[in-house]
Amino acid sequence: MPSRRRKGERPIDKSQFCRPYDETHPVAHAIRTGSRWFLAWQFQYGFSDARLVKQLGIAPDRLRQLDHGAPVLQAEVDALAAAYGVQPSDIIASLPDPELLVMG
């Protein structure tokens, strides 16, 4: 079934969301201008905490820990990447310190 739009509405160009992470990516820009990596991704894709909790099964307390710089598990990176429609390597590239990634 085709999506329906109201009269005068234009479709949203989602191509900016699917591009690989690099220094020109909107998330990279947000990080350069002061956002933390977790919030930069969350805000870029418009995901609320409630949506992440429901979609990923990550507890609200854990989301707050990630937001405040806690180490991130590879499984969490994979889940976030799937939710945002990006590659796990894109999320990893945005981490301020590679040692924040915990394999396992």
H helices of 1-104, in order, are 26-32, 37-45, 49-56, 60-67, 74-84, 88-94
How far apart are alpha carbons 76 and 72 in whole angstroms? 6
Tens digits of pLDDT across the chain (104 residues): 556 667 777 765 555 556 789 999 999 999 999 999 999 999 999 999 999 999 999 999 999 999 999 999 999 999 999 999 999 999 999 999 989 999 86
Map out the domains of the chain with their CATH numbers.
22-102 (1.10.260.40)
Q: Which residues partner with 102 through β-bridges?
A: 73
Handedness of CA 83, 85, 91, 94 (dihedral sign): negative
